[in-house]
Structure 1
Amino acid sequence: MIEPITGAAIRGELSARYLPMIKECDAIHDLLRTEALRLKDGFIQDAKDEGKLLYRSVQVKTNREGSVSIVWTRIIFSDKPGGGKRQRQEVIRKGDGYTYNPNAVIRKADYWLQQLFHQYEPKFAMLREALVMNMKARKQLLELQRRVNANPPI
């Protein structure tokens, strides 16, 4: 994430006022990421409680810039040379918006997995939207702080 202007680089009272708001956006971002991880763990635990093989899962990824994405994955099993199975995860494309299309994730899935998807996906969609909106607000605050800092009116 781009760091806000702090310390001796701040020129003017108005520029300094943006700093707590930017830090609050960062705190909200961390809370949303923590909640996404908690929900992901809950989904995996609920699937394990069913005692079934989990062939759809959810991942919470953080990139280098600190942006968080919540994606559904398909677990694909293939034969290893010499016997045995190898598994890999393939990200399922979400499409437009914040919500996954159920057909993309749970088409031809067992009933228990469909139920879990419908239980968790609305929560993940809300978190996706909140994460995006929070980062947009932070970016706007950073831009305003930089403009005001470059030419302080007060």
Structure 2
Amino acid sequence: MTSAELTIGQLSERSGVAVSALHFYEAKGLLSSRRTGGNQRRYTRDSLRRVAFIRAAQRVGIPLAMVGEALARLPDARTPTRADWARLSAAWRGELDARIHQLTTLRDALSDCIGCGCLSMRRCRLANPGDIAATIGPGARRFDERGACRMRRP
């Protein structure tokens, strides 16, 4: 092992990320290692910055798939720089703003709904936003976890 390489345990300790998460990142193509003759993983020191980049993106709510797409666009799959982070975070701003708006709306609707206590299918902004059930037709409805309205079958 060269001094420019880290074991998975060292990378985990220095980055504060569990070994299992590092394995997961590697399986998703977000991180790479070389294998020794004994089939042990070795990471270059710049993997620390790559892991920090991944964790920072996760903390602000960027899905790992989007992080992977961003990392794949870097030339020669190099480690992201401060300029890369600035460019990518600016590109993610629109999505983050949309999520903030959605969560704010949900928070406000939740307070209103709890306050009224009715959970009216006609006017409840959580169970039936914009009275979408009315557009499907008469009858009982049920909503899945995405808020999609489904006809209830007897």
> So what's the TM-score if we normalise by structure 2?
0.29
Higher strand share: 1
> So what's the TM-score if we normalise by structure 1?
0.29
Structure with bigger gyration radius: 2
Structure with higher RCO (Cα < 8 A, 6+ apart): 1
